[in-house]
Amino acid sequence: MIKRLLITGAAGRLGSHLRGSLRPHAQTLRLSDIAPMAPAVAGEEVVPCELSDKLAVDRLVQGCQAIVHMGGIPNEQPFEKILDANIRGVMHIYEGARRHGVERVVFASSNHVVGFHRQGDLLETNCERRPDGHYGLSKSFGEDVARFYFDRYGIQSACLRIGSATHEPVDRRMLHTWLSYRDLSELVRCCLFAPSLGYTVAYGVSDNRDPWWSNAGARHLGFEPRDSAEAFRSERERVPALDPADPARIYQGGGFVKNGPFENDF
């Protein structure tokens, strides 16, 4: 049981799911986002906060023993938008954690950190990072921040390269990358309570056939996925495959490898 657990991005699709699934594991859940959230119930605190506001984040973190950092922009956007929410935001979270003695952070990284690896390659947790856009770059930066704050300050972190976290896989690519909500909850729980976390990178993926990612380097978490995309295979494979020359079929990042440029980048 964690005395006070902070979840950022708590109004988002994944954050709102974790709000429910992590409630039994904390005496108090502190929930934060800039989007509207449901009112707090017993054992909850709702604290709106802009991640780019360093002082506000510092106040947000105070009194917490652990953080599940889901906040930030969750898709490809112009760099300036990514900069405030995802890059400044993760720095502010970790600096707040250092100042207030937070023991453990679970950081929502992304499979887009390795999006320019080819589909079919089996990637280990220590593979070369090959971000596929501004969003992937921001998550790669966040992994470096987590590594730095562990090496210098001893803040334990798990960087979760989350795949396609949805109710069910919606296309052929997701037959490889799907992460069920149930498995997401279990992975985060394992990260919060693993006896020794240190600095860990893990892929957020269910037990799918023909995987692209291996969690052999994160076995110490004790995470055992229970779900698989296999039940959806026949339906998803009825949809015609992409052209073999399409970058979204060549690279693991799918459509993210083709996003941009954005007109307001300059």
* Cα gap 112→107, rounded to integer Å: 14
Beta-bridged to residue 209, according to DSSP, are: none
Strand partners, 178: 164
Kindly list the distances between the CA atom of residue 51 and the CA atoms of 37, 135, 138, in Å, as whole numbers in the listed order.
Answer: 16, 16, 14
For residue 5, the cross-strand partners are 29, 66
Single out the catalytic residue among 135, 149, 181, 251.
135
| DSSP conformational letter for 249 | H
Q: Can 135 be counted among the known catalytic residues?
A: yes
Residue 195: CB atoms within 10 Å: 6
3-state secondary structure of 210: coil
Task: Take residue 89 and report the two structure tokens written for it.
Answer: 């935001």
Q: Structure tokens of 260?
A: 């941009």
| Contact yes or no for 29/19 (Cβ under 8 A) | yes
Place of tokens 């295979």: 233
CA-only gyration radius of the chain, Å = 18
* Backbone phi and psi for residue 66, each to the nearest 5 degrees, phi listed first: -150, 155
Q: Is 9 left (phi over 0), alpha (psi -120 to 50) or beta?
A: left
Q: List, in order, residues 6 or more apart from 83 with CB less than 8 Å away.
A: 138
Catalytic residue IDs = 135
